[in-house]
Amino acid sequence: MVKAEAVRKSFGRLEVLRGIDLEVNPKDVMCIIGPSGSGKSTFLRCINHLEKIDAGRLSVDGELVGYKERGDKLYELPDSEVCKKRSEIGMVFQRFNLFPHMTALENIVEAPLRVKGDGRAKAEARARKLLDRVGLADKVDAYPNQLSGGQQQRVAIARALAMEPKLMLFDEPTSALDPELVGDVLDVMRGLAKDGMTMVVVTHEMGFAREVGDSLVFMDGGVIVEAGTPRDVLSNPHHERTKAFLSKVL
């Protein structure tokens, strides 16, 4: 589903990604862990072209991200194409980023209504179903600031799911939450994984990674230091840097 080959990205002089190679299979859950500044969030944002990569190849579902290849030449995609591609990938942010001037329901129907062109009745029916699925059926008309962090994040997940994405990206979805609210969000993600959603999750929740993840990647300094099954990497790390990191967080 996602394939990265030697992906590089710099911000000015700072090289944040220094050659990332990885592959996420359909219906798999890949967790990415690593210290802050290791480039894991940047990599996630490259997948839906919120950041432009400088070198390498990055493709989603067999199609290059942000470019089209014809012959041996790359053509930059126009905005409309980039938007269409993004609409097929859901993203959940650390800071939720719900639209504060809209109710939970309005947040969820906005994109299906205006990007996909669904009818209002259809979009609202599905939004209510999604809210029910994330356990917030009674919060349809609540504004984001009337919701707790955990509730906001669950609305944000419902908002991303409303576009019926083929891939979901999670950027530290529980890092901004009170500990007691983390569980609800992880439950929703666990359910998604069980239903066969392809997911790339940047996280600090080692328990979640071990239990739900099909693969685990440890990043540091813009490179993948170690990758494998969660059990292997977490219980039996080979690399010194992985050991050092895990000894601090576990």
Partner 1 sequence: MTEIASRPPAPGPQAGRRPEAIKAIPVRHPWRWVSAVVVLALAGDVVYTIATAPNLSWDAVWTWLFRPFILGGIVITIELTVLAMVIGIVLGITLAVMRLSPNPVMSWVSWVYIWFFRGTPVLVQIFFWYNLNAVLPHIGVGIPGTTFGWHVGTNSLINAFIAATLGLGLNEAAYMAEIVRAGIISVEHGQTEAAQALGMNRLLVMRRIILPQAMRVIIPPTGNETISMLKTTSLAVIAAVPELFTRSQQVSNVYFTVIEMAIVASIWYLVMTSILTVGQYYIERYYARGAQRELPPTPFQRFRRLLFTFHAPPPTAPDVSVFLPSEHR
Interacting positions 16-75 with partner 1 (CB under 8 A): 48, 50
> Strands 2-11 and 14-24: what pairing?
antiparallel
Min CB(229)–partner 1 separation in Å: 29
CA angle 17, 19, 24 (to 5 degrees): 95
Q: Contact with partner 1 (CB under 8 A): which of 4, 104, 130, 160?
A: 160
**118: nearest Cα among 130, 127, 48:** 127
Which of these ranges, 2-10, 53-61, 96-104, 224-232, lies near partner 1 under the rule CB under 8 A? 96-104
User: Residue 93 interacts with partner 1 (CB under 8 A)?
Assistant: yes
Q: Find the binder of partner 1 among 74, 83, 125, 137 (CB under 8 A).
A: 83
Binding mask 179-208 for partner 1 (x = CB under 8 A): --x---------------------------
Q: How many residues bind partner 1 (CB under 8 A)?
A: 38
Contacts with 21 (C-beta within 8 Å, 6 or more apart), sequence order: 4, 5, 6, 7, 224
Tokens of 100: 């504060």
Contact in structure between 73 and 87 (CB atoms under 8 Å) = no
Contact segment (CB under 8 A) with partner 1 among 23-31, 60-68, 86-94, 224-232 equals 86-94
* Structure tokens belonging to residue 110: 């906005």
Which of 87, 166, 221, 223 touches partner 1 (CB under 8 A)? 87
Rounded to an integer, what distance in angstroms lies between the CA atom of residue 204 and that of residue 143? 28
Tell me whether residue 75 is exposed, middle or buried, using C-beta atoms within 10 angstroms of its C-beta: 0 to 12, 13 to 18, 19 or more. Answer: exposed
Binding residue for partner 1 (CB under 8 A) from 26, 27, 69, 99?
Answer: 99
Q: Determine the interface stretch with partner 1 among 60-68, 82-90, 191-199, 221-229 (rule: CB under 8 A).
A: 82-90
Secondary structure string (H, E, C) spanning 172-200: CCCCCCCHHHHHHHHHHHHHHHHCCCCEE
Q: Interface with partner 1 by CB under 8 A: which residues?
A: 48, 50, 79-80, 83-91, 93, 95, 97-102, 110-111, 114-115, 143-148, 150-151, 156, 159-160, 163, 181
